[in-house]
Amino acid sequence: MSSFGCWGLPAALLALLCCPGSGEETFEVHIWPEKLAVETRGSVEVNCSTSCAKPEKIGLETPLNKTLLKYDPQNQWAQFLVSNFSQDTVLLCHFTCNGKQLLKSLRVSVYQLPTQVILKLQPPRVVVGKPFTIECTVPDVKPLESLTLTLLRGKETLQNQTFGGAALAPQDATTTLNSTASTEDRLLSFSCQAELDLRPHGGYIIRSISEPQILEVYGLPGQDSQMVILITVVSVLLFLFVTSVLLCFVFGQHWHRTRTGTYRVLAAWRRLPRAFRTHPA
């Protein structure tokens, strides 16, 4: 009895240590995609696959609603639809092969696109040389650390701002810039671009832009319009001068050549009978 008990434990240990492959094949589990960014309330398709020839059990662990879309036992994969994401989560694919279970996880980042990009110029009317503020606000955006707000004047970048902090809930983001009104500001429109770079989370870059705003700059007459008027006046005067010089020259030449002819016409006129010479008017 005691000798059997002595041999029993080492034998069991030996069996476990030396022959792990005899009872169960090693196998692999894959989940695709490997990382994923999904919009709030969005849904995704996930593919779980295994190298196990005859998996006994397959599944996807998640507290969210899921549907098995397709199961291909021959090729050892299953496709699930997971829907209505509300916050960052982990999905777990599992397969059981010869009584052994393996898991593979997928991190899902939930993002919320800015619904609006609101640009405000404060005050909307400003005298040249006076300060004004450009303010851009994006409500309910997530994740904030993926956001860049860019203030633009025409195509020129005035300010780029990134944000920190990994909040669970969507948050508002604001960037402001203090500036001084110049005549240039009158001619160009201001806008604000919100960019969500989801590439580190397995997504894309998503951009939205505000309505363009024009600053009402007043007080001094624009130097540019003064310049345009000056150039126009100088051009017209120059044109008139050159034209009159040319005309003088041409007519002078013409008169010189036909002077004799003119006298002849005059003489013929004088020779006409008086009745014909009276003016018709």
Nearer to ligand NAG among residue 32 and residue 183 (C-beta): 32
CA distance readout (Å), 254 to 73, 234, 266: 106, 30, 17
Which residue number, 88 or 195, has a Cβ lying nearer to ligand NAG? 195
Determine what percent of the chain falls in helix, strand and coil, rounding each to the nearest 5: 30, 45, 25
Q: Between residues 49 and 137, which has the closer beta carbon with respect to ligand NAG?
A: 49
Q: In Å, how far are 38, 265, 271, 278, 279 from 274, measured between CA atoms?
A: 107, 16, 9, 7, 10
Q: What does each C-alpha distance from 18 to 23, 24, 160 come to in angstroms?
A: 11, 13, 62
Report in angstroms how near the CB of residue 67 gets to ligand NAG at its nearest.
10
Q: Report, in Å, the least distance between residue 49 CB and ligand NAG.
A: 4
CB atoms closer than 10 angstroms to residue 84: 10
Smallest gap from residue 8 Cβ to ligand NAG (A)? 44
Q: Which residues bind ligand NAG (CB under 6 A)?
A: 32, 47, 49, 64-65, 75, 77, 79, 84, 86, 133, 148, 150, 157, 160, 176, 178, 195
Closer by beta carbon to ligand NAG, 155 or else 257: 155
In angstroms, what is the minimal distance from the CB of 227 to ligand NAG? 30
Residue 145 CB, nearest approach to ligand NAG (Å):
13
Cα radius of gyration rounded to whole Å, the chain? 43
Beta bridge partners of 171: 141
Complex with ligand NAG: residue 57 or 264, whichever CB lies closer: 57
* Residue 244 burial (CB count, 10 A): 10
Please identify, using beta-carbon distances, which residue of 51 and 96 lies nearer to ligand NAG: 51
Query: Token pair of 124, please?
Result: 């909307």
Min CB(193)–ligand NAG separation in Å = 8
